[in-house]
Structure 1
Amino acid sequence: MKLSNSAYIRNFLLSTLIFVGVVASFNFIVDPYGLFRVVDIEGFNRLKPEFNRNLIHSKTAAVRYVKPESIILGTSRANQGYDPDHPGWDDESPASRFNLGTPAANIYRMHRLVQHSQSVQPLKQIILALDFLSFNAARGNDGGIDNYVNVSSQGQPQPLAQLHGLIPAFISFDAIASSFKTIQDQDLNQTSVTYLPNGFHYKVGRGTQRRVHYLNNCARFVRSVYFPPPQRRYSFYDESSDRSSFRYFQKLVAKSYRDGIDLKIALNPPHAYMMEVIAKSNLWDKFETWKRTLVEINEETAARFETDPYPIWDFSGYNSVTTQFIPEERTPDTDEFFYFESSHFKPLTGDLILDRLLDYHDPQRIIPDDFGVRLTSASIEPHLAQIRVDQAAYRQTHAEEIQDVEEAIRGPLNRVRRAGNHELAEADLREDDSPMED
């Protein structure tokens, strides 16, 4: 029997709806981006290797389901360096903990994530892992955070935020591919990168250590992190958006005091190579100003709320962790190395930081005496002076590595100069262009 045109159209539409329904149901059940959390089966979809396709979307959605009382905030250094299951959180600590670190996060994004988390579940504790890069207002990398959080920056409800980005997660080809990859990569012993249910970015690394990997990252930081296009500058304040990085830090700290949150602040420790990048990029004065201002804001805000200041621990600089020698030739990676590369430290380093922050002592893991200095208005100037002394000593004992860093960033710095950044005029580098590409 011959079907009419209308019957063909009806059957086609019905078949299309069935196909879309099957695809949407499949992606909903597998949930590769962790947006729904309805089905959670070990060996099927518990690990989320595709979680980072839109990490801000995935993590803000996860907060609604996990309802953490304790969060870790920061950049990718926190994302893959701080384990929420660290034993320093004892039985009296908040049971539901989640790593809310996101790559390249600026302080505005961290402030908004606190607002979002607090709107879902009152927070008891925050580990705030800060980086100098997060305070460059000229970079402006908030990752579209306002589209995904429950409240506006003024604290007003945004009920439609939960719907943002859901359609591609249901019925896109990318979502189908991500679902199959999620099912396939469920053996933690067989995968090199994935996300755990607590938001922690599990990463194995390259398997080898080699200096060039560290140097390439130094060059990348000059090109796109400290002097990102189009402005090619580092500034705590951006005139075009009227955004002040320190203003949002103050808002985050004030909210923590007001809401009775136990806030612990760590200044992350990139490898000493990155300290040299900051110095050779003529940013050292700003780097020190950053630390002074964090201490000043913290203590002034504490005084306003008539309470003790939150602890700020500085792990950066030149110490027995950050100055670790990096071999020039390819060398097998072992637990003796503290870093994946010059920017990102391993979880074993993050464990040492959390040991210090949480006052936890593991006899099998000794915290170096020089790793972590408590910053106060009384200690900040002697501490900064000591870092300068340590810097001079490091340059004496690691001259070859310092030369390699200078050569790696010379070309990128010269390009930044030519783009009109006059702050680099005094940088101690020759004006010849020999770039090192990633």
Structure 2
Amino acid sequence: MGGVGLLNRVVDPFWYYRDVAIEGFNAVKTKFRRFERHVKPAILARERPEAVTLGSSLTEVGFDPLNPAFTDHGRLTGFNFAVAAAQWQIIQCYFKYAIGHAPIKRAVVEVRPMDLADADCAVPEAALDIATPAQLLFSTRALKASIETIQGQGKERPSHTREGQYFYARYDPGVESRFREILGRRLKKGQCDLAALRQGVSAALLPMKDGPMRQLDLSGLRKVVRIARAKGIELRLVVHPRHAYDYEMDALCPAAIDQWDVLRQMASVVHEASGGDDRIQLWAFVGYDTITGEPVSANMKLWQDPLHLNFEIGDIMLNAMFGRPSPGSPNIGRRVFPENVDAIRRDFLEGRESFIKANPWFYPGLRTLLSQGRGS
């Protein structure tokens, strides 16, 4: 048993101890991606960062926790505490865990236009399953992971940075095929009207319809804001951008909900629960521009698929939210208040029309992707 523990301690397959890294032996932690939900909370509790990002893979891939604006030029220790496939209840429970186990001063939390209810972090689907020292050193799973880590050297690339950012498909070719797959999947889900797109109608004649309004349960959002206010945490709640082709699917397929009404509801909750504390802000990054409208190709610079952005966009977002806008970059995000949602919607629609009219390749490219995505 002692030999097993020593091997697992040195190989450190789950990247918890982080003090032995030997090229060709254990430098690439091939098992971290699979076990991140068990290990990231333990790492946070031990390393005690002061600035964290929380969310799903959108945040885990898109935000570099070493960004100078986010870390206040290195004055704060940053950590990407997002995990792949996390839904709101997981995000909220990770937030509560983080502030209970580290001296958090700044947090960026991903939100989406959906119910953001208060989560019970004790139920199995939301509870954190954190690896214990005994599991890290003496379990059969750890031994198997150590052996496979050694065998995987030279065959696999690192999946994450030391600070928790996920590379995902950043270095993989075939971005265009991922666009086809994801847009095609969305096409098959809904009752989409492709007649206008087939006819090559201009953007001005292809209306962007709002979905139905519905009162959302935002009790979890309210709880996060109140906790941040009580503890003096600088909080940024962020709606991530999507690629312009994914926005355009909103014009082709029935929307499940009115995203602008949702944004207004969220802004109202944030304003009320924060008590006007300017350290707590809601930001939305929506629009058609040279960033969200990057032409789709096999090797794109800014996007890994229609939803996952590279950290180059994430840096622009973090710079905007923390007061250091990136020189020469388009203004892709705005702070959201209840009273400016109509203006954000208007600018979105006007920007959409002008962008598509200025880029005649836009609709032909979308038609090609959708026809290939449907297998036709």
The two structures have a TM-score, normalised by structure 1, of 0.68
Find the counterpart in structure 2 of residue 326 from structure 1.
296
C-alpha RMSD of the superposition:
3.7
Find the counterpart in structure 2 of residue 211 from structure 1.
176
Find the counterpart in structure 1 of residue 233 from structure 2.
261
2:4 paired with 1:37: no
Q: 1:212 to 1:33 in 2, by over 3 A?
A: same
SS in 1 for 2:343: helix
Q: 1:199 to 1:210 in 2, by over 3 A?
A: closer
CA distance in structure 2 between the partners assigned to 1:349 and 1:115 by the alignment = 27
* Pick aligned residue for 1:198 from 163, 166, 180: 163
Q: What is the Cα deviation at residue 354 of structure 1?
A: 1.5
CA distance in structure 2 between the partners assigned to 1:105 and 1:197 by the alignment = 20
Find the counterpart in structure 1 of residue 367 from structure 2.
403
Q: What is the Cα deviation at residue 390 of structure 1?
A: 3.2
1:29-68 CA deviation, whole Å, 9 max, x = no partner?
Answer: 322123x427444646465332121321121121111111
Q: 1:408 to 1:378 in 2, by over 3 A?
A: farther
Find the counterpart in structure 2 of residue 385 from structure 1.
346
Instruction: State whether residues 314 and 372 of structure 1, in contact with CA within 8 Å, keep that contact through their aligned partners in structure 2.
Output: yes
CA distance in structure 2 between the partners assigned to 1:194 and 1:121 by the alignment = 24
* Pick aligned residue for 1:273 from 240, 245, 254: 245
2:279 paired with 1:313: no
* Residue type at the aligned position of 2:94: L
Find the counterpart in structure 1 of residue 271 from structure 2.
299
Find the counterpart in structure 2 of residue 347 from structure 1.
311
Q: 1:129 to 1:236 in 2, by over 3 A?
A: farther
Find the counterpart in structure 2 of residue 56 from structure 1.
37
1:362-414 CA deviation, whole Å, 9 max, x = no partner?
Answer: 66xx321x3112211222111112223333455654222333465477xxxxx
Q: What are the residue-to-residue correspondences of 1:415-426 with 2, within 5 Å? A: none
Find the counterpart in structure 1 of residue 90 from structure 2.
109
Q: What is the Cα deviation at residue 191 of structure 1?
A: 5.2
* Residue type at the aligned position of 1:37: Y
Instruction: State whether residues 69 and 96 of structure 1, in contact with CA within 8 Å, keep that contact through their aligned partners in structure 2.
Output: yes
* Residue type at the aligned position of 1:77: L
2:320 paired with 1:356: yes
Q: 1:93 to 1:292 in 2, by over 3 A?
A: farther
1:2-25 CA deviation, whole Å, 9 max, x = no partner?
Answer: xxxxxxxxxxxxxxxx5xx43343
Q: 1:83 to 1:235 in 2, by over 3 A?
A: farther
CA distance in structure 2 between the partners assigned to 1:183 and 1:120 by the alignment = 32
Q: 1:182 to 1:248 in 2, by over 3 A?
A: same
* Residue type at the aligned position of 1:402: L
CA distance in structure 1 between the partners assigned to 2:115 and 2:31 by the alignment = 25
Find the counterpart in structure 2 of residue 286 from structure 1.
258
Q: What are the residue-to-residue correspondences of 1:58-73 with 2, within 5 Å? A: 58-73=39-54
Find the counterpart in structure 2 of residue 171 from structure 1.
139
Aligned residues: 348
Structure 2: where are the runs of 5+ without partners? 191-210
CA distance in structure 2 between the partners assigned to 1:203 and 1:196 by the alignment = 11
Instruction: State whether residues 106 and 135 of structure 1, in contact with CA within 8 Å, keep that contact through their aligned partners in structure 2.
Output: no
Find the counterpart in structure 2 of residue 246 from structure 1.
218
SS in 2 for 1:113: helix
Instruction: State whether residues 70 and 94 of structure 1, in contact with CA within 8 Å, keep that contact through their aligned partners in structure 2.
Output: no
CA distance in structure 2 between the partners assigned to 1:136 and 1:223 by the alignment = 29
Find the counterpart in structure 2 of residue 10 from structure 1.
none
* Pick aligned residue for 2:329 from 367, 381, 385: 367
* Residue type at the aligned position of 1:101: A
Find the counterpart in structure 2 of residue 7 from structure 1.
none
2:64 paired with 1:83: yes
CA distance in structure 1 between the partners assigned to 2:319 and 2:345 by the alignment = 23
Instruction: State whether residues 56 and 143 of structure 1, in contact with CA within 8 Å, keep that contact through their aligned partners in structure 2.
Output: no
* Residue type at the aligned position of 2:349: R
Q: What is the Cα deviation at residue 183 of structure 1?
A: 4.4
* Residue type at the aligned position of 2:227: K
Q: What is the Cα deviation at residue 259 of structure 1?
A: 0.9
Instruction: State whether residues 214 and 342 of structure 1, in contact with CA within 8 Å, keep that contact through their aligned partners in structure 2.
Output: yes
Instruction: State whether residues 228 and 235 of structure 2, in contact with CA within 8 Å, keep that contact through their aligned partners in structure 1.
Output: yes
* Residue type at the aligned position of 1:367: S
* Residue type at the aligned position of 2:336: L
Instruction: State whether residues 180 and 370 of structure 2, in contact with CA within 8 Å, keep that contact through their aligned partners in structure 1.
Output: no
* Residue type at the aligned position of 1:387: F
Q: 1:220 to 1:102 in 2, by over 3 A?
A: farther
The two structures have a TM-score, normalised by structure 2, of 0.78
* Residue type at the aligned position of 2:40: K
